[in-house]
């Protein structure tokens, strides 16, 4: 059961939340290494573009399948035991992936299935506990502030670290940089000892009982149907990021270039989020969503006919700026529905459904990418980029429907849904 942490009084105890936020931000650095730059490393060690796409697909299918499979039993364990303990286990498992990279060296490019399984299992352990801890330690009124701060800081990290990591990998070796990342992982584990946890009263992980309970509340069930539909296609966002990284490595062929582009795009994404939060309000962003959706599809179509360094960067820019908008808002909505209804003890079940649906869709998307690598058709690869862009636009449309149906109505509009502007976030 672990420590007891009083949710009603947690606003006066900022240290545990600060430690959790710090751990999550450090995870951004580690994720850059085990995802973005591992993909770049795989490119360097494969003979052809299609071998590269094949191995990247295997890595992601293994990772997301492992996460979907392990998430349910791990959520049960988290609900029954110490959340922080499992959170720490997830951090240690991520360290194990970095150690695997160190000892396997160049062989890791051929053992992508093993690296993917370790990555997926560590992600399942980490997020099964983090998603619950976040809901228990961050109040509804502070959730929008926390989510915006999280994405902004992570993007700031993505401004500096990609260039540093990319340059180090280019001038040294991938394994030697892994030693540095391992030290960062150790610091992350140490930071986790400042987090406290609480086991919700009468908490009992039971998915069947959870579905019965939400169906009894028509308003909650109506909201969750849209939320879960978004989760079912949310895998496209992970795929687009990976497709862009693949395109950059095909055209630029350098880890440093990948890092530099990632950094520049992150700056633009931060500015976009701040501007949207400042000049628009939740429930009145239909125009923003429509414009973003159109730009995403148009940029992907242009990429089909003119596959070049410039069009890749433009597509990356548009999807990154669009992505940070819907990720922040969707994070608030999917986390706020149960709290609005007072269903605190069902948080673990809710996030299990969210993560399993998202990871199943990711497995499907990357399975299609795997098929394209076997067909060895660059045209099919480019068309697939357009398909994923359409799915991204569909996410925007569904969020717009959710806001128009539930957020704009004054009778049911919760204060927790309001996203603070950048000035409010600093209070």
Listed by start position, the domains of the chain span 15-194+208-410
Instruction: Let me know: does 282 contact 403? Beta carbons within 8 Å.
Output: yes
Task: Find the distance separating the first CA and the last CA of the chain, reported in whole Å.
Answer: 34
The DSSP 8-state label assigned to residue 227 in this structure reads H
CA distance 391 to 124: 24
Instruction: Let me know: does 397 contact 312? Beta carbons within 8 Å.
Output: no
CA distance 77 to 112: 28
Cα 198 to chain center, whole Å? 24
Burial of 314 (0-12, 13-18, 19+ CB in 10 A): middle
CA distance 357 to 271: 31
Other beta carbons within 10 Å of 171: 11
CATH of segment(s) 15-194+208-410: 1.20.1250.20
Other beta carbons within 10 Å of 51: 16
Q: What is the pLDDT along the chain (427 residues), one digit of tens a residue?
A: 333 334 444 445 577 878 888 888 888 888 777 776 776 677 666 667 888 888 888 988 999 999 999 998 888 888 777 778 888 888 888 888 777 777 776 677 777 888 889 888 988 988 888 888 887 777 666 766 777 777 778 777 877 777 777 777 777 777 778 888 888 888 888 888 888 766 555 567 788 888 888 888 888 889 999 999 998 887 777 778 878 878 887 777 766 777 788 788 888 888 888 888 888 877 778 888 899 889 999 999 998 888 888 998 899 899 888 888 888 778 778 777 877 777 777 777 888 898 899 899 999 989 999 999 899 888 898 888 888 889 988 988 988 888 888 876 443 344 333 333 333 333 3
Q: Which two tokens stand for residue 120?
A: 């997926």
The DSSP 8-state label assigned to residue 206 in this structure reads -
Please report the pLDDT score of residue 52 as a whole number: 81
CA distance 332 to 352: 16
Instruction: Let me know: does 263 contact 160? Beta carbons within 8 Å.
Output: yes
Cα 100 to chain center, whole Å? 23
Please work out, in degrees rounded to the nearest 5, the angle formed at the alpha carbon of residue 241 by the alpha carbons of 238 and 246: 125
Closest CA to 128 of 154, 89, 155: 89
Q: What is the value of pTM for the model shown?
A: 0.78
CA distance 60 to 407: 35
Instruction: Let me know: does 86 contact 128? Beta carbons within 8 Å.
Output: yes
Three-state DSSP class for 20? Answer: helix
CA distance 292 to 346: 34
Instruction: Let me know: does 119 contact 61? Beta carbons within 8 Å.
Output: no
Closest CA to 27 of 92, 119, 99, 91: 91
């Amino acid at each position: 059961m672990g420590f007891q942490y009083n949710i009603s009084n947690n606003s006066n105890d900022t240290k545990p939340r600060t430690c959790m936020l710090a751990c999550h931000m450090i995870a951004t650095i580690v994720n850059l290494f085990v995802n973005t730059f591992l993909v770049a490393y795989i490119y360097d060690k494969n003979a052809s573009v299609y071998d590269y796409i094949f191995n990247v697909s295997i890595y992601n299918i293994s990772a997301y399948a492992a996460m979907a499979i392990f998430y349910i039993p791990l959520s049960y364990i988290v609900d029954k035991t110490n959340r922080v303990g499992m959170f720490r286990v997830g951090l240690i498992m991520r360290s194990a992936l970095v150690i695997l990279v160190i000892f396997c060296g160049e062989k890791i490019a051929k053992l992508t299935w093993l690296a993917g399984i370790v990555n997926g299992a560590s992600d399942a352990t980490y997020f099964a506990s983090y998603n619950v801890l976040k809901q228990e330690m961050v109040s509804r009124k502070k959730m929008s502030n926390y989510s915006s701060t999280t994405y902004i800081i992570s993007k700031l990290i993505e401004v500096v670290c990609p260039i540093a990591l990319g340059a180090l990998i280019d001038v040294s070796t991938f394994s030697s940089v892994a030693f540095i990342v391992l030290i960062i992982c150790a610091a992350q584990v140490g930071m986790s000892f400042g987090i406290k946890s609480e086991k919700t009263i009468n908490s009992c992980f039971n998915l069947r009982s959870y579905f019965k309970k939400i169906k009894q509340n028509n308003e909650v069930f109506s909201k969750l149907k849209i939320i879960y539909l978004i989760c079912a296609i949310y895998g496209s966002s992970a795929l687009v990021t990976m497709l862009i990284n693949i395109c950059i490595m095909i055209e630029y062929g350098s880890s440093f270039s990948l890092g530099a582009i990632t950094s520049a795009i992150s700056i633009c994404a931060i500015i976009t989020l701040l501007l949207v939060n400042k000049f628009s309000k939740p429930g009145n962003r239909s125009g923003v969503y429509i414009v973003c959706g159109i730009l995403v599809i148009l940029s992907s179509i242009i990429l089909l006919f003119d596959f070049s360094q410039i069009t890749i960067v433009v597509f990356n820019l548009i999807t990154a700026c669009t992505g940070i908008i819907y990720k922040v808002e969707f994070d608030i909505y999917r986390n706020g529905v149960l709290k609005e209804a007072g269903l605190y003890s069902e948080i673990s079940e809710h996030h299990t459904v969210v993560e399993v649906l998202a990871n199943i869709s990711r497995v499907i998307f990357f399975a299609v990418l795997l098929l394209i690598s076997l067909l060895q058709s660059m045209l099919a690869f480019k068309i697939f980029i357009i398909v994923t862009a359409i799915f991204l636009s569909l996410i925007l449309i569904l969020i717009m429907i959710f806001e128009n149906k539930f957020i704009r109505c004054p009778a049911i509009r919760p204060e927790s849904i309001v996203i603070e502007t950048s000035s409010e976030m600093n209070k």
